[in-house]
Amino acid sequence: MAAANIKQVAKHAGVSLGTVSNVLNRPDLVSPTTRQKVLDAITALGYVRNDSARQLRAGRSRTVAILVLDVSNPFFTDVVRGAEAVVEEAGGMLIVCNSGEDPHREQRHLDMLEEQRVQGLLVTPVSDGRHPRLDAFVERGIPVVLVDRGSGHPSRCSVAVDDVTGGRLAAEHLAERGHERIAYVGGPITIRQVADRHLGAATALAERDVPLDLQLVKTSSLSVDAGRQAADDLAALPPDQRPTAVFCANDLLALGLLQGSIAHGLRVPEDIAIVGYDDIEFAAAAAVPLSSVRQPRAQLGRTAAELLLEESINEDGHQHRHVLFQPELLVRKSSDHHR
Amino acid sequence: MAAANIKQVAKHAGVSLGTVSNVLNRPDLVSPTTRQKVLDAITALGYVRNDSARQLRAGRSRTVAILVLDVSNPFFTDVVRGAEAVVEEAGGMLIVCNSGEDPHREQRHLDMLEEQRVQGLLVTPVSDGRHPRLDAFVERGIPVVLVDRGSGHPSRCSVAVDDVTGGRLAAEHLAERGHERIAYVGGPITIRQVADRHLGAATALAERDVPLDLQLVKTSSLSVDAGRQAADDLAALPPDQRPTAVFCANDLLALGLLQGSIAHGLRVPEDIAIVGYDDIEFAAAAAVPLSSVRQPRAQLGRTAAELLLEESINEDGHQHRHVLFQPELLVRKSSDHHR
DNA sequence: GGCCGCAAGTGAAACGTTTCATAGACGTGA
DNA sequence: TCACGTCTATGAAACGTTTCACTTGCGGCC
């Protein structure tokens, strides 16, 4: 019973091999009596279809892969869950691969996925440049959708979130609450997200009726510790020069800044208002609930999967699309105060 | 060029089909000249091996699957990363599947993985009982390793972390710091981990030279909010009845308790010492860094994968093993105070 | 010179499925 | 009675690989 195949099922049921296949794939072509005989045989022998053979014959698999930069990053886990829902809805299976931001592991995974002739690939490549490796997929007829990367490429779809708008939302909110000395805490500025959020915030402030300046506080990383460090720096300033509001490049920085500010005796939001980015799980659970910009992560995954499946089904008529999602500002207590 | 196969490569290189296969799988059997000709042809045609055919022939794949309860739970993501390292080291590929604690999705994934004839399966089943479904894998010759579940099953390996010891560590630590009124905050008590940690802590205290009682504070969930709620309850007690130390069933509770205690004007650790469980990322980053019991999560994944590969290779001589890891107590400021 | 062994390369068979052209049984209408 | 269509069931071919028994060519040894 270790490995029954279709032939043995056919013999056991007293029908031909093709009939068993029909029961499996087009049951309506088979008379009820025969069908039942076959189903009984399948149960009796513990038959399980061999997907390799099926795939070999079909030329492609029903498996969609998602290759992420970091399986333990909540951003990607939410994207995965969104994509999963769509793929499973369509009767497929999503497998998750992790490059860990390592180009070699990315390469290895791409090699194996290409050998497996997956139905499609959702991927956030390690590097942001050109990707000849991905073109090979497309040429082989395997659709590729870029996630949060390199929008605008002509030969594949992409989905991303608009970080410039995110920065704008945060800055506008703070300006509307009457703040006039606003700072942006973040770094390294070489990270696209860090730069885009800064750009959006700075632009929004400059465009106001009374243009405002956005003070830039650079950090060496996007961690809680770096946020605390920034709090030390800000607390050291004389109160009349200290920003009354801070927009942080992500929530880790914001939480560190929040803790550090409180430790320095500053009241949040009265003395210093804080807005973070990402709306991580702990944002709402902080000592002072943290305002934050939320990205529609699951939506990103869902849409990516939908674009992929559409391309996969409608191979010829498919038009590549580049979907840009808008983030959303969640105002919580850390910035909910009018000056 | 869309889909070159071995035959076309052979023709292009002017050799037989078997020779191409030898170049791919046993290059030392082929003379350097011929080998180079074949490699050139492979490049020229953009040939990529078809894994379905290879698998069909070989009867099994080189893919190991891990089926977890929740891809977005850091516990599992760390387990995944540990397993990943081992599997990739061995030249295989790890695919991650997510049951989302839903028995139907678990079932679906198991069905598809069985059809795919994966090399092996690491799994944390949704339910804790018997698993006839997994026995089918074993009968088919697909090794299964249980992760953090049902140790002791005779027909498969398992890995888990000893929660009783974890509870013991936390309680002993608090007792040694001179605490005599100690509480355990957690619930629902039907969750095995919650119960085991409680058992370990209660036992440790009862076994002391001067036996101590462990006060039980039940919560309805393991969330930050439930922890805050518990803080309210404790703060309402008269100081001479209030526990001077609390061990929480997980870090979310502990962080909520920490915030709530501070909000009620209690000093941590002077008025109330707190120990959590899981050592989540934010434990060390809390306003008062949180003491916590850490589970060797990546090690769990690594060992699970090692057991699996061992069974896979040494099919006959394999002895099923049940590895129980010991957790570790990290003392941080939230409990670092002698009464 | 005859024999042997070795290195290199060959090509048919097998893996398990799906598909497709075809055959048989049976009922219906002319 | 015959021709025809419908419904079922059949089994060979094809998917692309790996393996293995086999040939071929060549050099060494007695």
Question: Residue A151: its pLDDT value, please?
Answer: 76
Is the per-residue pLDDT at A89 higher than 90? yes
Q: In B 15-44, which Cβ lie closer than 7 Å to strand C?
A: 15-19, 21-22, 29-31, 33-34
Q: Quick one: closest CA in A to B284, which residue?
A: A224
Tokens 């606003």, located at residue: A182
Instruction: Report, in ranges, which bases of strand C sit under 7 Å from a protein C-beta.
Output: 7-12, 14-21
CA distance A292 to chain B (A): 17
Q: Tell me what pLDDT residue A128 has.
A: 80
Give the pLDDT of residue B39: 96
Average pLDDT, chain A: 94
DSSP structure string for A66-109: EEES-TT-HHHHHHHHHHHHHHHHTT-EEEEEE-TT-HHHHHHH
Chain A residues within an 8 Å CB radius of B114:
48
Q: Write the burial class of residue A13 (CB in 10 Å: 0-12 exposed, 13-18 middle, 19+ buried).
A: buried
Where in chain B are the domains? 6-49, 61-162+297-326, 163-295+329-335
- The answer to whether B59 CB sits below 7 Å from nucleic acid chain C is yes
Top-tier CATH class for A163-295+329-335: alpha beta
Which residues in chain A, range 1-60, keep a C-beta under 7 Å from any nucleic strand C atom? 3, 5-7, 17-18, 20-22, 24-25, 47, 49-50, 53-54, 56-58
Q: Both tokens of residue A231?
A: 């709090």
Residue A152 has a pLDDT of 80
Give the distance, in angstroms, between residue A92 CA and nucleotide C18 C1': 19
Q: Please give the CATH number for the structural domain made up of B61-162+297-326.
A: 3.40.50.2300
Measuring from the CA of residue B50 to each C1', which nucleotide is nearest?
D16
D9 C1' to B106 CA distance, Å: 36
Nearest CB to A51: which of B84, B100, B115? B115
Residue B56's pLDDT is what? 95
> To probe the interface with B, which of A45, A68, A88, A95 has the most B CB atoms within 10 Å?
A95
The mean pLDDT value for A10-20 works out to 94
With 70 as the cut, is the pLDDT of residue A190 above it?
Answer: yes
With CB atoms and an 8 Å threshold, state whether A50 touches B56. yes
| CA trace torsion A281, A283, A287, A289 (10° rounding) | -130
Q: What is the pLDDT of residues B89-106, one digit of tens each?
A: 998 999 999 999 999 999
A38-74 pLDDT, tens digit per residue, is 999 999 999 999 999 999 999 889 999 999 999 999 9
Q: How far is the CA of A15 from the C1' of C28 (A)?
A: 29
| Total number of residues shown for chain A | 339
Q: Do domains A6-49 and A163-295+329-335 have the same CATH topology?
A: no
Question: H-helix or E-strand containing A24?
Answer: helix A17-25
| pLDDT (0 to 100) of residue A242 | 97
Q: How far is the CA of A327 from the C1' of D22 (A)?
A: 68
pLDDT tens across A291-334, in order?
A: 999 999 999 999 999 999 999 988 888 999 999 999 999 999 99
pLDDT of residue B2: 59
- For residue B3, which residues of chain A lie inside 8 Å, CB to CB? 59, 140-141
In chain A, positions 246-275, which contact chain B (CB-CB < 8 Å)? 252, 255-256, 259, 262-263
Instruction: Compute CA distances A24 → A30, B109, B117, whole Å.
Output: 10, 19, 18
Is residue A99 predicted with pLDDT exceeding 70? yes
- Going from the C-alpha of B320 to that of each of A226, B7, B122, B146, B210, the distances in angstroms are 47, 43, 14, 11, 42
Calculate mean pLDDT across residues A180-193.
96
Q: What is the CATH number assigned to the segment(s) B6-49?
A: 1.10.260.40
Which of B61, B108, B139 lies nearest to residue A2, judging by beta carbons? Answer: B139
Q: Is the pLDDT of residue A113 over 90?
A: yes
Partner residues linked to A93 by β-bridges = A63
Angle at B109 between CA B108 and CA B112, to 5 degrees: 90
**B97 in contact with A, Cβ within 8 Å:** yes
Q: Is residue B93 within 8 angstroms of chain A, CB to CB?
A: yes
| Residue A126 pLDDT exceeds 90 | yes
Q: What is the pLDDT along chain B (339 residues), one digit of tens a residue?
A: 557 899 999 999 999 999 999 999 999 999 999 999 999 999 999 999 999 999 999 988 999 999 999 999 999 999 999 999 999 999 899 999 999 999 999 999 999 999 999 999 999 999 887 888 999 999 899 999 999 987 788 889 999 999 999 999 999 999 999 999 999 999 999 999 999 999 999 999 999 999 999 999 999 999 999 999 999 999 999 999 999 999 999 999 999 999 999 999 999 999 999 999 999 989 999 989 999 999 999 999 999 999 999 999 888 889 999 999 999 999 999 999 998
Contact yes or no for A112 and B255 at CB 8 A: no
How distant is C1' of D22 from CA of A254, in Å? 73
Smallest Cβ distance to B72: which of A48, A61, A81?
A81
Euclidean distance between CA atoms B134 and A57, whole angstroms: 28
**What one-letter code names the amino acid at A42?**
I
The pLDDT value given to residue A2: 60
Is the Cβ–Cβ distance between A21 and A57 less than 8 Å? no
SS (H, E, C) B174-243: HHHCCCCCEEEEECCCCCHHHHHHHHHHHHHHHCCCCCCCEEEEECCCCCHHHHHHHHHHHHCCCCCCCC
* Residue A1 pLDDT greater than 70, yes or no: no
Interface of A with B in 41-70 (CB under 8 A): 46, 48-56, 59, 61
Q: Comparing C-alpha atoms, which of A42, A39, A35 is closest to residue A5?
A: A42
What is the predicted pLDDT for the residue at A173? 98
Residue A233 confidence class, pLDDT cut points 50, 70, 90: very high
**A61-160+297-325: in CATH 3.20.20.140:** no
B28 compared with A276, residue with greater pLDDT: A276
